[in-house]
Amino acid sequence: MKPSRFSYHRPHTVDEATRLLADTGQHGKVLAGGQSLIPLMNMRLAAPEHIIDINHLTDLDDIAVTSDGVVVEALVRHSRLAADDAAHAAQPLLRKALQLVAHPAIRNRGTTVGSIVHADPSAEMPAVLLLTGGSIQARSTAGERDIAAADFFVGPMESALRPDELAVSATFGTAPDRAGTAIRETTRRHGDYALAGVAVIITVDAEGAIQTARAAYFSVADTPQLVDLEAVLRGVNVRSGVELQSVADFATAGVEPTADIHATADYRAHLARTLTVRALSDAMEEVRDA
């Protein structure tokens, strides 16, 4: 199908883009990589009257590692972030997660910020932003505000971004010293959206005892779900072997899986538990000799 008629705008500065967003309000949509928006428009599931193409905002094309974290601007494509060695050193989970996002052609065009704003509960990067304690920087004609990931994902495909706001960047938290990170998901085919997935971060002390542990689930509930595992994992030594099934049961007890045409809620719950065991094993292995 073809999209319904729309007016096309091509701003060259952020100010021009935010003015257009302010003018078009509910009827305007930002076009970044188009990997989610264009299919939705072609299927007539979205029919914005104004498209504001931000691909010429060349001042929003940077990746920087700062004291705040890994700052990824709005035009950075998934593939570029995955290839960035400084970002990888600061937060290894980024590359691990991005390798699971769709296929190379989609990663070459789709933006990481676009994926976060799109707020698909099946997507990897919203869960990674939440897990790392990240945030989104939003700009409008009224100024700039920082929205914590914990407040950003309000429903399936629904974020806290207002229609007049442009997400200028996303900031991912960096990995602390002696951190182990992992991400696991189950898909029908390689590159598909996950049926269920989990990302984890643990930290250990010099003796290998776990200090902090967190998991974030995607494609399980309506929004990414963060679970603190410190109560069950703090003090556990990664060098002496741990029974993880009960940890996985604890982790998934509060996560309420949803059912859809791809999986029942029970199947998602089963996948979430199994993937938790695997992801925690991976993360523990990574820091065994840290």
Ligand X SMILES: Cc1cc2nc3c(=O)[nH]c(=O)nc-3n(C[C@H](O)[C@H](O)[C@H](O)COP(=O)(O)OP(=O)(O)OC[C@H]3O[C@@H](n4cnc5c(N)ncnc54)[C@H](O)[C@@H]3O)c2cc1C
Binding site for ligand X (CB under 6 A): 29-37, 39, 74, 101-102, 106, 110-111, 113-115, 117-118, 123-125, 161, 166-167, 193
Looking at the chain, list the stretches that DSSP marks H as alpha helix, in order from N- to C-terminal side: 14-24, 37-42, 78-83, 85-90, 93-98, 104-109, 112-118, 124-131, 149-152, 230-233, 245-253, 265-287
236-241, Cβ contacts within 8 angstroms, sequence gap of 24 or more: 236/209, 236/210, 237/207, 237/208, 237/209, 237/210, 238/180, 238/202, 238/204, 238/208, 238/209, 238/210, 238/284, 238/285, 238/287, 238/288, 239/208, 239/288, 240/208
Q: Is 85 exposed, middle or buried (0-12, 13-18, 19+ CB in 10 A)?
A: exposed
End-to-end CA separation in angstroms for the chain: 54
Q: Which is nearer to ligand X, 138 or 226 (CB)?
A: 138
For ligand X, the nearest residue by Cβ is: 110
Q: Is 18 helix (H, G, I), strand (E, B) or coil?
A: helix
Q: Which is nearer to ligand X, 101 or 238 (CB)?
A: 101
- Closest contact distance (angstroms) between CB of 133 and ligand X is 20
- Closest contact distance (angstroms) between CB of 35 and ligand X is 3
- Closest contact distance (angstroms) between CB of 290 and ligand X is 29
- Report the distance separating Cα 290 and Cα 286, nearest Å: 8
Q: Which is nearer to ligand X, 218 or 280 (CB)?
A: 218
Q: Which is nearer to ligand X, 92 or 110 (CB)?
A: 110
In this structure, what token pair is assigned to residue 137?
Answer: 């920087």
- Closest contact distance (angstroms) between CB of 33 and ligand X is 3
Q: Which is nearer to ligand X, 123 or 210 (CB)?
A: 123
- Report the distance separating Cα 72 and Cα 84, nearest Å: 11
Q: Which is nearer to ligand X, 183 or 255 (CB)?
A: 183
Q: b/e map of 176-203 (b: 16 or more CB within 10 Å)?
A: eebbbbbbbbbbeeeeebbbbbbbbbbb
- Closest contact distance (angstroms) between CB of 60 and ligand X is 8
- Give yes or no for a contact between 14 and 52, defined as CB atoms under 8 angstroms apart: no
- Closest contact distance (angstroms) between CB of 123 and ligand X is 3
Beta strands 28-31 and 50-53, pairing class: parallel
- Closest contact distance (angstroms) between CB of 91 and ligand X is 17
Q: Which is nearer to ligand X, 68 or 192 (CB)?
A: 192
Q: Which is nearer to ligand X, 31 or 255 (CB)?
A: 31
Name the DSSP class of 24. Answer: H
- Closest contact distance (angstroms) between CB of 56 and ligand X is 13
